[in-house]
Amino acid sequence: MSDHIDIGKTGETIAANFLIDKDYYILERNFRNRTGEIDIIALKGDTLIFIEVKTRTSINYGYAYEAVNKKKQKKIIKTAFYYIKFNRMKGYQLRFDIIEVYLGKTNKINHIENAFV
């Protein structure tokens, strides 16, 4: 397994634990279909949240959220609608978030709610 995969998995675990501490209920991690992948799918109240996690060890190549471009957003949205239909999840508010995880001596987390529509 390559280092960037390990870094990504570490970031996703940190993000999931962060969400659990904030009373989110994790429904899925790494949900995949042929359209794409969603890192974390969670519920909080009546809101179904699709979360893209981006992990970095530095900002040398820009901020983590910048990697979630329009093309990536469209794939996430399309995958989310498949998930909703497949699981018959009606009646929820929808939200698309990004969680940035910066690994270091002390890890930093930035949770961007309603990052895109």
**End-to-end Cα distance, the chain:** 33
Domains of the chain, earliest start first: 3-112 (3.40.1350.10)
**What kind and span of H or E run contains 111?**
strand 108-112
Structure tokens at 88: 């018959």
Q: 88 Cβ partners below 8 Å, 6+ apart?
A: none
Per-residue pLDDT of the chain (117 residues; tens, 9 = 90+): 458 779 899 999 999 999 999 999 999 999 999 999 999 999 999 999 999 999 999 999 899 999 999 999 999 999 999 999 999 999 999 999 999 999 999 999 999 999 998
pLDDT of residue 1: 44
pLDDT in tens, 7-41: 899 999 999 999 999 999 999 999 999 999 999 99
